[in-house]
Amino acid sequence: MIRRKDTYFCTMEKWLLFKNTKISYTDSGKGAVVVLLHGFLENKHMWKEIIPVISRNKRVLAIDLLGHGHTECLGYIHPMELMAEAVAAVLKSLRIRKITLIGHSMGGYVSLALSEKNPEMIRGLCLLNSTSTSDDTSRKKLRERANKMAQINLSNIVRMSFINLFSEKSKEVFNPEIQLALSEALQTSLHGYSACQEGMKIRPNRLSVLKNNHFKKLFILGEKDPVLLVNKGIKEAEETQSKTVILSGGHMSHIENSDKLIKVLNTFIRRSLSY
């Protein structure tokens, strides 16, 4: 993996007040707009390797979702629809009408909610290690158990949840990068952790958003993803006439396969502009 010391994420942070809650985001580059939405226990800094490359000829927005990074919490449950509203508020304030959306894991759920409400805005939707399906019963129980454990020892449950997102090989090869990302995850508050777990637990199946819209669609899957099984992702993509790219590694493609991921994203962004 190439470590880009000269492209360190240093874009100036901006703020928007949404329902009396501060939403943090960055705005880089010029051109067609690409919106990046991070996953659970992440923040906009997860894109630090990607933003400098894409923003060379595109305008890139990276937004901290509710309860993550420098964005505040809003209520005791953060439904995907509410987080999508916050994203839409940022776009409205900047008078942006067309976007290519890239959402990692939970960010993919938010992207789907935004696309469902504003399909005319979407040029392309990339689900990065994400799915349009809802939680099954066992996943809902896992979230409930995790929230109970978080009340007792938040840092332990965050460490365990985060480390388990990586394949065994990746834990060794990318240990420095994982530790840095873990330090960001540990900054998530108990409120933010619990509210987002509840929001993900109640999210509906949005397979129809992909089936019923003709904007460009892409699933980027991790070959050894312990959360979203690759075979299930392939089936979902086939069912929704979406393109599929499979990368080696687990759930965290931006760490485990960043160079390949950047190439795939650039190709997808170019394709989406033809819609």
Spell out the per-residue pLDDT of the chain, length 275, in tens.
Answer: 333 333 444 568 999 999 999 999 999 999 999 999 999 999 999 999 999 999 999 999 999 999 999 999 999 999 999 999 999 999 999 999 999 999 999 999 999 999 999 999 999 999 999 999 999 999 999 999 999 999 999 999 999 999 989 878 888 999 999 999 999 999 999 999 999 999 999 999 999 999 999 999 999 999 999 999 999 999 999 999 999 999 998 999 999 999 999 999 999 999 999 87
| 146 falls within a domain | yes
Full-prediction pTM beyond 0.85?
A: yes
Structural domain for 91, as ranges: 11-272
Could you list the beta-strand ranges (E) of 154-229. 216-222
Helix (H, G, I), strand (E, B) or coil at 27: strand
Closest to 128 in 3D by CA, of 39, 259, 9: 39
Q: What is the CATH number of the domain that holds 258?
A: 3.40.50.1820
| 56 falls within a domain | yes
| 2 falls within a domain | no
pLDDT (0 to 100) of residue 249 = 87
- Give the total number of structural domains in the chain: 1
| 4 falls within a domain | no
Which distant-in-sequence residues (6+ apart) come within 8 Å of 10 by Cβ? none
| 5 falls within a domain | no
Two tokens, residue 263: 């190439």
pLDDT (0 to 100) of residue 4 = 39
| 3 falls within a domain | no
For residues 179, 182, 187, 192, the Cα torsion angle rounded to the nearest 10 degrees is 180
